[in-house]
């Protein structure tokens, strides 16, 4: 089977699941989505994976209508924050041509303000633009982009309540030191805290090339606990760019870690599974020796 035939077959597998008349098989959808979702179906698949769209097809029309009505009622006003969002979107669009266009700017403003006005404990930060962007790109409607974005933000909030960011950074540093000791930056000029905090806090939304990010999130949304897997992906990325990093000066290293090059995501994800497997084995043997 050649590459085109494989792609057609893969697309057909997704379409079979999504076109089911009674019930969308979420388990099968998750298994397939871990290997990436065809771009033309990504929006629809993400809605199911994130629980925005229910698997029961008989409730589809009524739930779509209810979502749309709920979103229409939301407050999307705050002129000061709207100005800050527009400025950040303008910077973001220069880096991500997939989201160019004035019409997208207003969608960002509406979605982020609807979220902030519905969650008064959340403060605006520029990272919300990068976290929201994949949904605006892959979903057909502003309403669906909002509800998928909200699902991700809720999951992230829950995760950080259980494990603080400080703890996650400390755990990642340990993982980095054990997994890639030859690359571990002992040099004070490369502040591990700075880039690893952003990598862990924002699921690489700010650092990754956009096409890599949406591919990674296909796998994350298909997992039951993507946050536990995420540090291994971060480690895997460091392995991928290891040779390039070893040739760079300190200031260049920082730049590369905050603006990652194009990566082979299939390899990154496969290596992340290997790192996780090795870490579990190492922990088991250490526990056995105690």
Give Cα separations from 77 to 109, 114, 216, 263 (angstroms): 9, 8, 32, 38
At residue 271, the pLDDT reads 97
Q: How far is CA 162 from CA 27, 120, 156, 283, in A?
A: 26, 20, 10, 21
The winner for highest mean pLDDT among 67-81, 167-181, 244-258 is 67-81
Per-residue pLDDT tens for 113-155? 999 999 999 999 999 999 999 999 999 999 999 999 999 999 9
**Domain spans of the chain, in order of start:** 3-60, 74-153, 163-289
- Fold type of domain 3-60: Arc Repressor Mutant, subunit A (1.10.10)
Cα distances (angstroms) measured from residue 204 to each of 25, 76, 216, 237: 29, 27, 9, 11
Residue with tokens 């002992």: 186
Is it true that domain 163-289 has CATH number 1.10.10.10? no
Spatial distance between the Cα atoms of 74 and 78, rounded to a whole number of angstroms: 12
pLDDT digits (tens, 9 = 90+) for 214-223: 999 999 999 9
Count of beta carbons in the 10 Å neighbourhood of residue 269: 21
Percentage above 90 pLDDT, the chain: 83
Least confident interval from 27-41, 120-134, 171-185, 206-220: 171-185
pLDDT grade, residue 290 (50/70/90)? very low
Neighbours of 217 (CB within 10 A): 25
The reported pTM is 0.95
Per-residue pLDDT tens over the stretch 250-289: 889 989 999 999 999 999 999 999 999 999 998 888 887 5
């Amino acid at each position: 089977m050649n590459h085109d035939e494989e792609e057609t077959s893969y697309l057909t597998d997704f379409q079979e699941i999504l076109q089911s008349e009674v019930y969308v098989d979420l388990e099968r959808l998750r298994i397939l989505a871990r290997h990436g979702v065809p771009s033309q179906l990504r929006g629809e698949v993400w809605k199911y994976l994130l629980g925005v769209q229910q698997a029961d097809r008989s409730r589809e029309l009524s739930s779509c209508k209810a979502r749309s009505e709920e979103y229409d009622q939301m407050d999307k006003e705050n002129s000061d924050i709207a100005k800050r969002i527009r400025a950040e979107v303008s910077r973001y669009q220069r880096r991500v041509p997939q989201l160019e266009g004035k019409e997208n700017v207003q969608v960002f403003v509406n979605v982020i303000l609807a979220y902030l006005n519905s969650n008064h404990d959340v403060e605006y930060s520029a990272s919300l633009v990068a976290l929201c962007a994949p949904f605006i790109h892959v979903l057909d409607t502003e309403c669906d982009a909002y509800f998928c974005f909200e699902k991700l933000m809720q999951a992230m909030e829950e995760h950080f309540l259980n494990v603080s960011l400080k703890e996650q950074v400390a755990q990642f540093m340990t993982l980095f030191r054990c997994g890639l000791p030859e690359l571990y930056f002992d040099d004070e000029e490369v502040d591990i805290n700075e880039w690893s905090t952003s990598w862990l806090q924002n699921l690489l939304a700010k650092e990754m090339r956009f096409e890599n990010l949406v591919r990674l999130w296909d796998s994350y949304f298909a997992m039951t606990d993507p946050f536990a897997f995420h540090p291994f992906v971060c480690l895997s990325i460091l392995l991928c760019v290891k040779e390039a990093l070893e040739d760079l000066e300190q200031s260049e290293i920082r730049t590369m870690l905050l603006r990652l090059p194009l990566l082979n995501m299939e390899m990154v994800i496969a290596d992340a599974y290997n790192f996780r497997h090795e870490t579990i084995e190492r922990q088991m043997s250490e526990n056995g020796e105690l």
